[in-house]
Amino acid sequence: MELIFNVAAVLFMMCLITGVYMVFCRNANHFSGITAASDATFFGGFFNRLYFVVSTFTTIGFGDVSPVSFRARAITIFLILSVFTLILKTLTSFIETYNKNIKKYIQTVANAPGAAAAAFRTAKAPTQAAPPRPEQDQEAYQTAGGYAAAI
């Protein structure tokens, strides 16, 4: 359900920003790469701005269309910050869901009947072996006939 909500939020944000470009940057002179002929109709203008928004939103940014005017650049800054925020929110949501599912899985395994669960419940963290004492090293050196033989 959350995935559907996130996809809907992305599509809504794309359409909203495309609409903002349509209202405030309707002339082709706000962008380089958009000609007046391709921007003559409402559909052409909408498509040009939607193309720019999608390529920026997906962080592809081909560079064939770029904002030139102050107004278009200001809206583009908002667009880029929105994309950055949405990416961070999505990553945070993914990590939280992953952690929740891992905890749920561990609880399920720990509470399950059977030998595997019993082994899981009684398992201890591995301990690190104690470092050898110098006297042990000396004994190994003497009994093996020298350092090279001890290794």
Q: Is the pLDDT of residue 132 over 50?
A: yes
Looking at the DSSP bridge assignments, the partners of residue 32 are 66
- Tell if the pTM clears 0.75, that is, is over it: no
In the chain the beta strands, taken as DSSP E runs, fall at: 31-32, 66-67
d(CA 44, CA 64): 16
149 domain residue, yes or no: no
Please give the residue range of the domain that contains residue 33. Answer: 2-111
**137 in a domain, yes or no?**
no
Distances (CA, A) of 62 to 55, 72, 130, 137: 7, 17, 58, 65
Residues 59-97 as b/e (b if ≥16 CB within 10 A, e otherwise) read: eeeeeebbbeeeebeebbeebeebbeeeeeeeeeeeeee
The span from the CA of 104 to the CA of 147, in Å, is 52
Whole-number pLDDT of residue 124: 59
- Give yes or no for a contact between 38 and 48, defined as CB atoms under 8 angstroms apart: yes
Has residue 28 been placed in a domain?
A: yes
The better pLDDT of the pair 148, 86 is held by: 86
Domain assignment of residue 81, yes or no: yes
Q: In total, how many domains does the chain have?
A: 1
Domain contains 38: yes
Amino acid residing at 24? F
Flag whether 76 is in a domain. yes
For residue 120, pLDDT over 80 is answered with no
pLDDT for 9: 83
| Residue 119's pLDDT band (cuts 50, 70, 90) | low
Is 52 inside a domain boundary? yes
Specify if 85 maps to a domain: yes
3-state secondary structure of 66: strand
Between vectors from CA 1 to CA 8 and to CA 5, what angle results, nearest 5°? 20
Q: Taking 60 as the threshold, does the pLDDT of residue 60 lie above it?
A: yes
Query: Which CATH number belongs to the domain containing residue 103 in this structure?
Result: 1.10.287.70
